[in-house]
């Protein structure tokens, strides 16, 4: 699905594919150290190969979407600018949720659009609640989740969000 963002840039949002391994590696490597810390809850340099592979191998319980840009070149390499996913536990109406947007693609509606698309898919498959842990100092994600109507509770070293679908 092609969408126009608040600053008039366009992205395509689609399910992640196994062929996205290298673009996903490049995406995570291009994030600032602080963004990677906030996403993975620790100072992480490069994502291990097995994690990247797991991130691209999805199924009915593990769903992931990416936002990609095109620079007008025929068959260009894929450039990812955001990634969102949820993983649903068996026999649960809740799913764990994660989202990260490239540093220079924030505050233009991309996270909101990606989350809404993912939430629609989750609802369709029976998920009633997206949950996630946010580091206490992640003010941007807390504000973002609040804008979506999430509720918050304290957890050890972080804040637990719950977004009813």
Residue with tokens 């946010």: 134
Beginning with the edge strand found earlier in the chain, give each strand of the sheet holding 10-15 in spatial order.
2-4, 10-15, 62-69, 79-88, 94-101, 129-135, 158-164, 151-155
Exposure letters 4-22 (e unless 16+ CB within 10 A, then b) = ebeeeeebebeebeeebbe
Over the stretch 61-117, which tens digit does the pLDDT of each residue have?
Answer: 999 999 999 766 556 668 999 999 999 988 889 999 999 999 999 999 999 999 999
* pLDDT tier for residue 38 given thresholds of 50, 70 and 90: very high
- The residue-averaged pLDDT of 57-62 equals 93
Contact call for residues 101 and 81 (beta carbons, < 8 A) = yes
CATH for the stretch 2-127 = 3.40.630.30
The proportion of the chain whose per-residue pLDDT surpasses 70, expressed as a percent, equals 96
Over the stretch 123-139, which tens digit does the pLDDT of each residue have?
Answer: 999 999 999 999 999 99
């Amino acid at each position: 699905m092609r969408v126009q963002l608040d600053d008039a840039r366009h992205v395509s949002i689609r399910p992640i594919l196994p062929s996205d391994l290298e673009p996903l590696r490049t995406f995570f490597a291009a994030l600032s150290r602080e963004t990677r810390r906030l996403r993975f809850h620790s100072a992480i340099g490069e994502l291990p190969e097995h994690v990247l592979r797991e991130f691209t191998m999805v199924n009915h319980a593990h769903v992931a979407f990416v936002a990609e840009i095109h620079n007008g070149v025929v068959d260009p390499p894929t450039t990812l600018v955001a990634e969102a996913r949820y993983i649903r536990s068996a026999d649960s109406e809740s799913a764990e949720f994660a989202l990260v947007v490239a540093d220079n693609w924030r505050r233009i509606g991309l996270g909101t659009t990606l989350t809404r698309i993912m939430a629609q898919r989750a609802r369709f498959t029976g998920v009633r609640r997206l949950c996630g842990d946010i580091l206490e100092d992640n003010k941007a994600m807390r504000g973002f989740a609040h804008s979506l109507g999430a509720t918050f509770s304290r957890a050890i070293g972080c804040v637990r969000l719950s977004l009813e679908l």
